[in-house]
């Protein structure tokens, strides 16, 4: 039986003025490349919204208020550091008119594995040849669009 560490995490659905979502491409030695939203684990004592704000700045260079939590999911996976975790992920929607992405706040691990980023339209997600996380990202984007 695998022992899984609890991993609370804040994830960001960063949308540009055209409604495209930012994803980072991860390349690791132990799995095929995949794309994922910005975000990461909470630091001890940190609130989800504070972690979303911090992660957004560290991974993109953007300073913005994450607003209210929009989605939540619980998922199990192996981190890039090799830890088996049970993640409690909270998603925040942040809209930026014409964001410039800066990677100078990336950690050593992020510099090694987050090798690219791009803006995806809703239509590009379904046919993309590499895995995209979260798997239900398109449905999340639909729900955001419907609420707008």
Nearest to 54 by CA among 69, 67, 43: 43
CATH of the domain at 37: 3.90.79.10
Once rounded to an integer, what is the mean pLDDT over residues 123-144?
95
- pLDDT over 70 for what percent of the chain? 99
Number of folded domains in the chain? 1
User: pLDDT value at position 104?
Assistant: 85
pTM for this one? 0.93
Asked if residues 38 and 4 have their Cβ atoms less than 8 Å apart, the reply is no
User: pLDDT value at position 108?
Assistant: 81
User: pLDDT value at position 132?
Assistant: 97
Say if residue 56 is exposed, middle or buried (CB neighbours under 10 Å; 0-12, 13-18, 19+).
buried
pLDDT at 35 over 90: yes
Nearest to 75 by CA among 131, 13, 6: 6
Local confidence band at 1 (pLDDT 50, 70, 90 cut-offs): low
For residues 80 and 108, what is the distance between their CA atoms, to the nearest angstrom? 12
User: pLDDT value at position 16?
Assistant: 96
pLDDT at 19 over 70: yes
Q: Which domain holds residue 141?
A: 5-147
pLDDT tens, residue by residue, 39-97: 999 999 999 999 999 999 999 999 999 999 999 999 999 888 888 999 999 999 999 98
Q: How far apart, in Å, are the Cα atoms of 93 and each of 41, 66, 135, 143, 145? A: 17, 6, 17, 11, 11
| Selected residue with higher pLDDT from 139 and 104 | 139
């Amino acid at each position: 039986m695998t022992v899984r560490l609890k991993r609370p995490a804040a994830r960001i659905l960063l949308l540009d003025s055209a409604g495209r979502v930012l994803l980072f491409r991860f390349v690791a030695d132990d799995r095929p490349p995949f794309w994922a939203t910005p975000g990461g684990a909470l630091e001890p004592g940190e609130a989800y919204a504070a972690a979303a704000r911090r992660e957004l700045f560290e991974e993109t260079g953007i300073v913005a208020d994450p607003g209210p939590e929009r989605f939540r999911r619980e998922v199990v996976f192996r981190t890039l550091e090799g830890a088996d975790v049970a993640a409690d992920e909270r998603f925040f929607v942040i809209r930026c008119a014409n964001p410039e992405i800066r990677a100078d706040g990336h950690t050593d691990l992020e510099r090694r594995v987050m090798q690219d980023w791009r803006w995806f339209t809703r239509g590009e997600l379904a046919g993309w040849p590499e895995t995209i996380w979260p798997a239900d990202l398109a449905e999340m984007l639909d729900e955001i669009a419907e609420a707008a």
